[in-house]
Amino acid sequence: MSVKISPSVLTADFLTLKDDIKRLEGAGTDMLHLDVMDGIFVPNISFGVPVIKSIKKHTSLPLDVHLMIDRPHRYIKQFAEVADYLGFHYEAGSDVAETLKEIRNLGCKACLTIKPCTAPQEIFEYLPLCDMVLVMSVEPGFGGQKFMPQALEKLSVLRKEITKRRLDILLEVDGGINAETAPLAVNAGADVLVAGNYIFSAENMKATVEAIKKL
């Protein structure tokens, strides 16, 4: 399976987001990563359902919605209406199994996310309910942080467990992805790379995406 690129729009200029999305489509990205932050689970606030609904009107790319919110089970139905992949944090205070089941029952791909402080073994029991697992390689809440090398071991452990169980699960990594860290993450088992600053700050977005996919 070739690596997938899911650019985070968190670092985009929202006044020109429609144009940037068209550029991303032309650059060959595979999905869009949308970080939803509530100022409670993480110390930052981003956007919610109305913004994602607007984005959905202007792209055919799958929407990879990453909920960084407290007790996400309260809002699953609303976000499931606008997401293709819907993910939430293991640490966010919801019944993990029930929330994953609800996401699938509502027609979305279910994604479970872990913070840098969480051991991958803690989510092994939930893997059969997941379509994707997201490993944070930075502390969630802000873009532009440096990649945490310990994420590589987590990716490797999860990839081995997924393979051992013969599960069809994408393994995603988010935080500090660039030309140096992308190949490390892929070698450790990642299928999907979330990149924000590295892609949006590039002079040639298409060349940058193609270069990451070739690494």
- The CATH code of the domain that includes 138 is 3.20.20.70
| Residues identified as active-site | 35, 174
Q: 144 falls in which pLDDT band (50, 70, 90)?
A: low
pLDDT of 45 over the 80 cut: yes
Residue 39: how many other CB atoms lie within 10 Å: 13
Structure-token match 């660039």, residue found: 178
Helices and strands in the chain, H and E counts: 8, 8
Written as six digits, the tokens of 44 are: 């930052």
Written as six digits, the tokens of 83 are: 């997401």
How many domains does the chain divide into? 1
Mean pLDDT on 56-85: 97
- What range defines the domain where residue 78 resides? 4-214
Amino acid at 81: E
pTM of the shown model:
0.95
CA distance 46 to 214: 32
